[in-house]
């Protein structure tokens, strides 16, 4: 019955409202620390649109990791979990982008290009919506190549949390703890990058995201969540 309810529009909106309430409670009761590469901090404080990259298992608190004053377009899939989180942070996202790196990748890419062309930053989980876990797909790199927007890898972690047994090891944060957000150095992609260069940057983004995620977990006293075995990601 619960699965049927969550497939309905009413169920999705109810679950999204509940998730949004929980996210606000966690954000308000957590003592936050931010650790940022200086160039990333300057970009996040400035007017230039950027591409914020997060792993799918850190979706819950992207709204805490993103500067409120900086407009954000978020890539979202039509999958139920993504729609629930989209509803939960709907008042934080300037523009939804429907599509994903796995389902409707061209729609996601076109949406990112439009948003960046309009001066709106883009948030993306390049391993979503179905993985492999913590393995980057190339769409984020193609968007950066075609627009010149820098990619900023980011991750959060909290001292009080649960890790789900889902494909992505989704992290659920609990209130009344400590939290940290780590921003890595911006990654640029040349406009003339060929397929080999795009693949090299894809690996660079993947490594950088895994590094900031492991660092955030380390600072909160947790062992890092391991990526899925490598191989065949594009």
Q: Give the pLDDT of residue 100.
A: 66
pLDDT value of position 119: 96
Using DSSP bridges, classify how beta strands 161-163 and 72-76 pair: parallel, antiparallel or unpaired: unpaired
Task: Look up residue 32 and give its DSSP letter.
Answer: E
Tell the residue number behind the tokens 């492991």, with chain if given.
214
pLDDT band, residue 82 (cuts 50/70/90):
low
Rounded CA-CA distance 219/178 in Å is 10
Exposure of 60 by Cβ count < 10 A (0-12 exposed, 13-18 middle, 19+ buried)?
Answer: buried
Q: What percent of the chain has pLDDT over 90?
A: 71
Instruction: Give the span between the Cα atoms of 143 and 6, in whole angstroms.
Output: 33
Place of tokens 């075995």: 229
Helix or strand or coil: residue 138? coil
Average pLDDT, the chain: 90
- Residues above pLDDT 70, as percent of the chain: 89
What phi and psi values does residue 214 have, to the nearest 5 degrees?
A: -65, -40
Q: pLDDT digits over 87-122, tens only?
A: 777 777 888 888 766 666 788 889 999 999 999 999
pLDDT of residue 93: 83
Two structure tokens written together for 112 = 């990112």
The pLDDT score that the predictor gives to residue 164 is 96
Give tens-digit pLDDT for 135-189: 999 999 999 999 999 999 999 999 999 999 999 999 999 999 999 999 999 999 9
pLDDT value, residue 1: 45
User: Which residues make beta-bridge pairs with 181?
Assistant: 34, 156
**For the CA atoms of 70, 127, 20, 16, what is the dihedral angle to 10 degrees?**
130
Which one is the CATH code of 2-219: 1.10.287, 3.40.1130, 3.30.70, 3.10.450? 3.40.1130
C-alpha to C-alpha distance for 196 and 173, rounded to whole angstroms: 38
pLDDT category of residue 5 using cuts at 50, 70 and 90: very low
- CA 227 – CA 215 distance, rounded (Å): 14
Q: Is the pTM of this model over 0.85?
A: yes
Task: For Cα atoms 100, 138, 120, give the angle at the middle one, nearest 5 degrees.
Answer: 60
What does the pLDDT read at residue 2? Answer: 42
- Quick check: 58 and 156 in contact, CB under 8 A? yes
Strands 178-183, 151-158: pairing kind: antiparallel
CA distance 11 to 5: 5
What backbone torsions phi and psi does residue 216 show, to the nearest 5 degrees?
A: -60, -45
């Amino acid at each position: 019955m619960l699965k049927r309810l969550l497939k309905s529009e009413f169920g999705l909106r109810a679950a999204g409202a509940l998730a949004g309430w929980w996210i606000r409670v966690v954000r308000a009761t957590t003592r936050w620390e931010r650790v940022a590469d200086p160039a990333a901090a300057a970009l996040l404080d400035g007017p230039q649109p950027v591409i914020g990259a997060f792993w799918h298992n850190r979706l819950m608190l992207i709204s805490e990791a993103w500067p409120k004053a900086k407009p954000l377009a978020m890539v979202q899939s039509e999958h139920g979990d993504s729609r629930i989180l989209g509803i939960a942070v709907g008042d934080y996202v300037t523009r939804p982008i429907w599509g994903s790196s796995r389902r409707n990748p061209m729609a996601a890419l076109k949406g990112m290009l439009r948003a960046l062309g309009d001066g709106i930053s883009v948030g993306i989980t390049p391993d979503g919506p179905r993985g492999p876990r913590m393995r980057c797909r190339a769409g984020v790199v193609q968007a950066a190549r075609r627009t010149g927007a820098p990619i900023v890898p980011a991750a959060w972690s909290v001292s009080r949390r649960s890790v789900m047994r889902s494909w992505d090891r989704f992290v659920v944060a609990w209130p009344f703890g400590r939290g940290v957000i780590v921003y890595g150095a911006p990654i640029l992609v040349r406009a003339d990058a060929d397929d080999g260069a795009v693949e090299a940057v894809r690996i660079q983004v993947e490594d950088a995201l895994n590094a900031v995620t492991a660092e955030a977990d380390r600072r909160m006293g947790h062992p890092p969540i391991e990526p899925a075995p490598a191989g065949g990601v594009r």
